[in-house]
Structure 1
Amino acid sequence: MRIALLITPFTDQNLQRAAQIGVTDIVSVYPGLDLNYLLELRKRVESFGLRLSAVERLLPTLKFIHNLPGRDQQIEDFKTLIRNMGKAGVSTLCYSWMPADDWQRTDLEAAERGGAKVTAFEQDKPSSVPTDTGYRKESNDSTSAERLWGNLEYFLKEVVPVAEESGVKLSMHPDDPPVENLRGQPQIMTSPEAYERMVKIVESPSNGICLCQGTMAASAREYDIPATIKRLAPYINYAHFRDVVGSGSSFRESFHDNGKSDMVACMNAYHEAGIDCPIRPDHVPTLAGETNEYPGYHMLGRLWAVGYMRGLMQAVESQKP
């Protein structure tokens, strides 16, 4: 496993900090469709001794998720992004099939250890959305689960061959929160079974998953996360390392060492399965002195999380016979 970081804000100082604390891989949000921009971004990252290895978040996807007007053009744009990533040597594209804009929370300032701020979700409260792709569904009608699956099949049959040709690994992120119905809109990517169904639609190393531990841990089904990692290991192209307290319709995020999961066993599961892909700390608490302008994505919590992850990795690797 290689520790990756999605940096907010994306400054040279934060890139240098990432290199200093032992990060090897950098993740970019959606870079647009300009190949030259992506090549310059890679050059900038590499100037700090780091590798630009993944793209995720803020991707324009809702037209093909819901089969809205402009679907095929949005798929063609997605293919262009994949081809550009291949040309730039960026190997991993993390996306989701979330029918809303992005991950959903109802509280952006829930209390964690020492007064740190984390995000939380309560099913019966209105959303307080921390991120927005800038595009909303053009219809108030919900898209059925059956139609979401049909739209996904159409999409995968179009884009997976392009990903194979480009040397890019697609990594499906689960719906967050992992509830089957979010305010009247069905969601389909909420379980290991859904992941297994998805990868069988087009069987390819380029059609894989992002194993988001925190999302799986938040499920009402109370999954054994280390066992889930081992179960889905053949399909894991990317991973998010985080945890929560609570589950189902009520949960909050936590420090990585203060949640419900056995994080030592989780890291050991990746190691035992022989998984070698980027893994990032994902959402982190906002600490004292930070503005909480970017809930889950401030830098102090990331610095702490990377140190914790590196310690776990070294401990797990030291157990080699």
Structure 2
Amino acid sequence: MALEKTWRWFGVKDSIKLSDLKQFGVEGIVTALHHIKAGDVWPVEEILKVKQEIERYGMRWSVVESLPVAEEIKIYSQKRAVAIENYKTSLKNLALCGIDTVCYNFMPVLDWARTNLHYKHDNGAESMLYDHNTFAAFDIFILGRPKAAQDYPKEVVDKAKIIFDGMSEEERNTLAFNIIVVTQGFINGTVDNAATFKEDFLYYLSRYADIDKPKLRHHLAKFLEDVLPIAEECGINLCIHPDDSPFPLLGLPRIASTEEDFEWLFNQYPSLNNGLTYCSGSLSVRTDNHLMAIAKRFAERIHFVHLRNIKKLGEKSFYESAHLDGVVDMYGVLKILLEEQKRRITEGRKDTRMPFRPDHGLKILDDFHKDSNPGYPLIGRMKGLCEISGLTLGIESAWKA
């Protein structure tokens, strides 16, 4: 059968058109209502506009990525009740439109972090890089987060100071703008392109001053307690995305980074509607995450798959590599996912599509002449989709031999 081939599309403003995607085998689209502020209701009419546009090109709206969880829910503020009710209404409206898979995350403030959006490979390709010492330089010396230096070992602080001292003012501002605005703005970023983006960012961080890992876990548990009954009633699978990167940043706790985190999560609400977005790229950053063990253990709860690869540059530093070239055993991971798909078909489960998308991609060839969001070039992702599709065919063909 093969996992459903999907593609992340950022709506009508995306430089990559729906008419292009069908040409190279895309079956489903992964998208969101990016024009609606986090915490507001997704109206049926707006959902249908996007759904019908996708279907006009012979594809389906396979996964919502993401229905964002408002900061008011994460910090459990007085405005939480309204945001929760709006989330429930949005889930009901998605179900009315026939959409059954919703990816979300519970990362505080910063959705994902990279320090270089144009990392050059030896062959001329480009991808994104996260360097922990450079991020520390941003956190401690450029952003100036209070007491930030206490969150890093002395050797990291010393290296960060050297990096900071070697940067021009323009380079410092560019690094801050990329981390706070560029990587976040196209995915419902908390801070927009405002003149006060650093100050705004510090304000949002300050709201977590009294929230540690146990408290953020409690807030996630209460979120699940509120929304999962609606998901069950509507037939929607919710799937949390792992933290990116899967370790604490900016003094903020991380609660979806390890096998133990997911065990805790699924024990809170055992329903299979409480699921996982299996992201090989995010999970592989930690050397203590065993990707195939995680895939096997939580296979029945994997509702959506991001396939990406990385190469490590140290304990917490890495760059994104070609889909079949890096620390991820893509063959081993795919084999487990395909075995799970076969099991679901045998058991008669409805959720047998198991959509995957090539997550991020190298900028190559004509990608350099096109505008695209960071990590989302056309040809580099198409290359990854073709490689994964070929590997999938090989695994399935070997089973038939």
Where on the TM-score scale, by shorter chain, does this alignment land: which range? Answer: over 0.9
Over 3 Å counting, the alpha-carbon distance change for 1:293 and 1:27 in structure 2 is closer
In structure 1, what is the Cα distance between the partners aligned to 2:284 and 2:208? 30
Match of 1:151 in 2: 219
Q: Which has the larger radius of gyration?
A: 2
Match of 2:184 in 1: 131
Does 2:394 match 1:315? yes
Contact kept in structure 2, 1:8 and 1:297, CA below 8 Å: no
In structure 2, what is the Cα distance between the partners aligned to 1:170 and 1:96? 10
The correspondence of residues 34-49 of structure 1 with structure 2, limited to 5 A, is: 34-49=43-58
Which secondary structure does the structure 1 equivalent of 2:184 belong to?
coil
Does 2:350 match 1:271? no
1:254-273 deviation digits (Å, cap 9, x = unpaired): 11022112212221111122
The correspondence of residues 47-196 of structure 1 with structure 2, limited to 5 A, is: 47-57=56-66, 59-112=68-121, 114-124=123-133, 125=135, 126=138, 128-129=178-179, 130-132=183-185, 133-135=188-190, 137=204, 139=207, 141=209, 143-179=211-247, 181-196=248-263
Paired AA for residue 19 in structure 1: K
Match of 2:278 in 1: 211
In structure 2, what is the Cα distance between the partners aligned to 1:115 and 1:69? 51
Greater share of strand: 1
Contact kept in structure 2, 1:168 and 1:206, CA below 8 Å: yes
Contact kept in structure 2, 1:24 and 1:51, CA below 8 Å: yes
In structure 2, what is the Cα distance between the partners aligned to 1:3 and 1:209? 18
In structure 2, what is the Cα distance between the partners aligned to 1:84 and 1:236? 23
Greater share of helix: 2
In structure 2, what is the Cα distance between the partners aligned to 1:35 and 1:78? 13
Offset at 1:311?
0.6
Match of 2:151 in 1: none
Match of 1:281 in 2: 358
1:217-252 deviation digits (Å, cap 9, x = unpaired): 11132x332332112202111110111111641111
- Structure 2, unmatched stretches of 5+, are 37-41, 139-175, 192-203, 345-351
Offset at 1:135?
2.6
Over 3 Å counting, the alpha-carbon distance change for 1:282 and 1:64 in structure 2 is same
| Range with greater deviation from structure 2 (72-81 or 126-135) | 126-135
* 299, 311, 322: which one aligns with 1:233: 299
Which secondary structure does the structure 2 equivalent of 1:115 belong to?
coil
Contact kept in structure 2, 1:62 and 1:101, CA below 8 Å: no
In structure 2, what is the Cα distance between the partners aligned to 1:66 and 1:292? 35
Paired AA for residue 392 in structure 2: M
Contact kept in structure 1, 2:184 and 2:190, CA below 8 Å: no
Match of 1:302 in 2: 381
Paired AA for residue 390 in structure 2: G
1:43-66 deviation digits (Å, cap 9, x = unpaired): 111111111111113724221111
Which secondary structure does the structure 1 equivalent of 2:5 belong to?
strand
Over 3 Å counting, the alpha-carbon distance change for 1:139 and 1:255 in structure 2 is same
Contact kept in structure 1, 2:11 and 2:31, CA below 8 Å: no
Offset at 1:278?
0.8
- Structure 1, unmatched stretches of 5+, are none
| TM-score (structure 2 length as normaliser) | 0.75
* 230, 234, 250: which one aligns with 2:317: 250
Q: Percent identity?
A: 29
Which secondary structure does the structure 1 equivalent of 2:103 belong to?
strand
Contact kept in structure 1, 2:208 and 2:252, CA below 8 Å: no
In structure 2, what is the Cα distance between the partners aligned to 1:101 and 1:69? 22
1:274-308 deviation digits (Å, cap 9, x = unpaired): 26311111111222424565111121212111111
1:20-50 deviation digits (Å, cap 9, x = unpaired): 2111111112354121111121111111111
Which secondary structure does the structure 2 equivalent of 1:294 belong to?
coil
In structure 2, what is the Cα distance between the partners aligned to 1:256 and 1:5? 15
Contact kept in structure 2, 1:93 and 1:170, CA below 8 Å: yes
1:108-167 deviation digits (Å, cap 9, x = unpaired): 111235222211112232264211334362626252101101101110000000111111
In structure 1, what is the Cα distance between the partners aligned to 2:257 and 2:382? 29
Contact kept in structure 2, 1:285 and 1:296, CA below 8 Å: yes
